[in-house]
Amino acid sequence: MMTKATTLAKLRERPVAPGQHLIDGAWTDSVDGSTKEVISPIDGKVLTRIATGGEQDVDLAVRAARRSFESGAWSLMSPANRKNVLTRLGDLIDLHKEELAVLGVRDNGTEFKMALKAEPGSAAGSFRYYGEAVDKIYGHIAPTAEESIGLISREPVGVVGAIVPWNFPLMIAAWKIAPALAAGNSVVLKPAQSASLSLLQLARLAMEAGIPKGVLNVVTGSGSVAGEALGVHPDVDVLAFTGSGVVGRRLLNYAAQSNLKRVHLELGGKSPNIVFADAPDIDAAVATAINGIFRNSGQVCTAGSRLLLQETIYEEFLGKVISGAEQLVVGDPLDPATDIGAVHTLDQLKSNLAYVETATAEGAVLRTGGKRIHESSGGYYMEPTIFSGVRPDMRIAQEEVFGPVLAVTSFTDEQEAIELANSTSYGLAAAVWTGDLSRAHRMIRRIKAGLIHVNCYGGSDITVPLGGMKQSGSGHDKSLLALDKYTEIKTAWISLNEGIN
């Protein structure tokens, strides 16, 4: 159902209360009282202020999480009751979906139509999915000799630290929080400092749904302070992170310096979208290529930022992509007519524009876009940008821009396409467009990426895992496999010999 314009207008103007930490079931200021302005990318204006957490705040949150875990209020709650709470939380998210979506758009700039589906829509589905999974996780009995029995069971790990990015805060947080809670753990969540508002609202709904105090804690603050404090804390058992490779390496170091906590990382990508001349629907491939890079201003971990075209269709296909990109409406993300919203921050916009300069200097051909637009609005907007003639050694072909910038390269045959696809340090996602089923299977086998699309891009649901290869990270969000990150496997070996009481 379409959201009414009057509803959007009211939610757009709703005052946003200052944000506090949620620690042990109570909303609290930072120990040192520090706060930070929240700037909306829509118009560059101050939305509100949020607490800026430090080491003491993180320690209080971790201690609260540990107490709640050891108390058994959640960890020993019957699976059926945990299921009821998590599915209720999914229902509450659905009930407040428009409020959550608009709040998130004001905070991070995603176009509303996409935000409504990808943020509260996805989060609600994740909590329901893992809620339904809670009472369907079984242990095993080993095939032992007659005199012994081996019982293999799963237990919650304890305290989970989750650090999530700003591009899809609700969706990605739910991918981590929902399975962690379903397994019986307690959680300390650190949102991105520049996109915390919707996650603070999620925490309110979690308490309303019946999550016991201390089981879900939220500390807002910078990655360099609050994130590091969570990474080095000796009482955090597992750390789950989505973000940059630079920060991912730091978190691995923090784990080594502290208690060797398990660290699961999703570190982005430079995903190839490969189109062969025998693609079954060229127009669908064009439309999908445009959406695959320019939605959310290219601020998507799995964005199809490299378009690899077979040389016999290169010019025709590229021309259609350029034409389609130039027709996209970039602007106010809360305007229903908008196709692409704002770049999240001024710093991110400047970084995107710097990549445009670098690509041009390295010899790539700018075919459209490349400029900041709507600057008079005060917001952060950028034209959809396309470069052709991109060589695999160029920075624009190797580094994750995380903006609306598409790098286009030609290839001659299947072997060259595979070599180009695997020519970066990343391995998160990829796509292959072909009418040859055998070729599709060969490409799936040989491309080093955790998620391979065939004749589509995006759209995989919660039932399948998302995880990377190479420097895109390790561990998986989504699907039942995500529960592996948040559980311990325990073996009980029992003697059945007579005479042992």
Residues annotated as catalytic are 266, 301
What angle do helix axes 79-95 and 97-108 make, rounded to 10 degrees?
A: 70
Contacts of 148 (CB under 8 A, 6+ apart): 493, 494, 495, 496
- Which of 210, 233, 217 is CA-nearest to residue 185? 217
Helix and strand element counts for the chain (H, E): 16, 22
- Give φ, ψ of 288 to 5 degrees: -70, -35
Q: How far apart are CA 435 and CA 414, in angstroms?
A: 13
- Determine which helix (DSSP H) or strand (DSSP E) holds 112, and give its type and residue range: helix 112-116
Helices (H), 183-273: 197-209, 228-232, 245-257
Is the Cβ–Cβ distance between 348 and 405 less than 8 Å?
no
Taking each helix axis from N to C end, the angle separating 79-95 and 122-133, rounded to the nearest 10 degrees, works out to 170
Task: Determine the 3-state secondary structure of 436 from DSSP.
Answer: coil
Q: How many CB atoms lie within 10 A of CB 419?
A: 12
* Residues 472 and 267 sit within 8 Å (Cβ to Cβ): yes
Cβ–Cβ under 8 Å, residues 323 and 287? no
Angle between helices 5-13 and 97-108 (to 10 degrees): 60
Structural tokens at position 30: 């930072």
Contact assessment for residue 308 and residue 272, using Cβ atoms and an 8 Å cutoff: yes
Q: Which residues contact 43 (CB under 8 A, 6 or more apart)?
A: 377, 378, 379
Cα dihedral: 183, 185, 188, 194 (round 10): 10
Tokens describing residue 67: 């107490």
Q: Would you give the distance in Å from CA 462 to the centre of its chain?
A: 13
**Structural element, H or E, at residue 36:** strand 35-39
